[in-house]
Amino acid sequence: MTMTRTLDRYAEAQGGCELDLSDNTNLWGTPPSAARIVSNATSAGISRYPSAYSNELKAAIARYVKVDAEMIVVGCGSDDVLDSTIRGMAEPGDILVEVSPTFSMVRAFANVSGLRVIDVSRYSASLITSISTIDAPITYLCSPNNPTGETLDLEMIETVAREVSGIVIVDEAYIDFGGESALPLLATCDNLVITRTFSKAFGLAGLRVGYGIGAPALIKRIEAARGPYKVTSVAERVAIEVLDNDIDWVRNTARTARIAREEFTRELEEIGASPIKSQANFVLIPVKHASVVSDDLRDRGIAVRSFSSLESIGDAIRVTVGPRPEMTRFIEALAEVIA
């Protein structure tokens, strides 16, 4: 048996820390209606399969984003939607272009599907030209971007969508915290798919629900590549409930996170750090020897995500923004560590 591709497992979070600021989930918790449904859930119904393509959830999302339900595909997290899009829209040997540094999972999915990944620096002066010259079947953009928190403007996204012959994925996992959604571009760009998730602002990471929005023909193909029965019946019910009855909780905690992010950024500057201006619920802080800094923080009971040699940035740690006491504890620990 000869395998040509090297497949690596995702470097999973180490866990075990008292304070976990490593995964950008909602540190204010879970929407009350979700907690209620899960704790009152009975086993009735779970001996049967959920609906194959989650039509009720798609209808609820369609109402929320104000598009037709045939423009929605859901998945087991938006990771599943990204993976299905790659599998459905490209062939082994094809190229996927990403604007780096960005979400590492996309490279992993592309690799598993046998695609080649080409990185274009988001700080390149000729970013748009480089992307359109490569003209790959899939271009991946992320705004606000993980791990930098920076956004792309709609004009840039629209130009890319117009210039390339393939599809453009715009990952909006953090759109509730800032930046401008690419949704209005769907009216004119039928090669655009926007992905979103219930894992971050919606406080439901453990349930694994995400979705994609795009032209019906594109969505149909992604859904075919995805396959049936991906969202569990409990997850579907909770996601619908939150969209219909608890969206204020989501909006309020997202607003609180935005305010906390600005405060946190100021405090980081006060202790001499140079955080990158973020529009997400996390902040990327360039530091020398990030893995050592992250180990030192771990010794103090705090988990962050460390990155080495990021394009144009170098080593850095990414820190999720949470409630005041957590942020104070982090600032005190970081000040000690970098002193």
229 and 75 Cβ atoms separated by less than 8 Å: no
Tell me the backbone φ, ψ of residue 5, rounded to 5 degrees. Answer: -95, 145
The closest alpha carbon to 332, from 302, 289, 291, 295, belongs to 302
Question: 276: exposed, middle or buried (C-beta count within 10 Å: 0-12, 13-18, 19+)?
Answer: middle
Q: Where are the beta strands (DSSP E) in 122-182?
A: 138-142, 167-171
Nearer to ligand PLP, 213 or 333 (CB): 213
Helices assigned H by DSSP within 44-122: 55-65, 77-89, 104-112
> Is residue 216 reached through a cis peptide bond, with omega within 30 degrees of 0 on the bond before it?
no
Residue nearer to ligand PLP on the CB measure, 80 or 337: 80
Alpha-carbon torsion, ordered 113, 185, 77, 205, to 10 deg: 140
Query: Which amino acid belongs to residue 50?
Result: P
Q: Can you count the helices (H) and strands (E) in the chain? A: 11, 12
Least spacing, CB of residue 339 vs ligand PLP, in Å? 31
Residues 6+ apart with CB under 8 A from 27: 21, 320, 321, 322, 323, 326
Query: Which lies closer to ligand PLP via its Cβ, residue 210 or residue 322?
Result: 210
Least Cβ distance, residue 307 to ligand PLP (angstroms): 13
CB nearer to ligand PLP: pick between 146 and 333:
146
CB-nearer residue toward ligand PLP: 22 or 337: 22
Q: Which is nearer to ligand PLP, 78 or 256 (CB)?
A: 78
Q: Least separation, in Å, of the C-beta of 79 and ligand PLP?
A: 3
Distance (Å, whole) CA 84 – CA 73: 10
Binding site for ligand PLP (CB under 6 A): 24, 77-79, 103, 142, 146, 171, 173, 197, 199-200, 205, 210
State the nearest-atom distance from the C-beta of 144 to ligand PLP, in Å.
8
When the beta carbons of 74 and 218 are compared against ligand PLP, the nearer one is 74
Which residue's C-beta sits nearest to ligand PLP? 77
Write out the two tokens for 219: 């969505």
In the block, residue with structure tokens 């209808």: 59
- Report how far residue 96's alpha carbon sits from residue 164's, in angstroms, rounded to the nearest whole number: 12
Smallest gap from residue 22 Cβ to ligand PLP (A): 11
Q: Which is nearer to ligand PLP, 79 or 326 (CB)?
A: 79
Q: For residue 207, which of 28, 31, 84 has the smallest C-alpha distance?
A: 31
Minimal distance, residue 292 CB to ligand PLP, in Å: 24
- Smallest separation, CB 281 to ligand PLP (Å): 10
Supply 168's token pair: 């453009």
Q: Closest distance between ligand PLP and the C-beta of residue 178, in Å?
A: 14
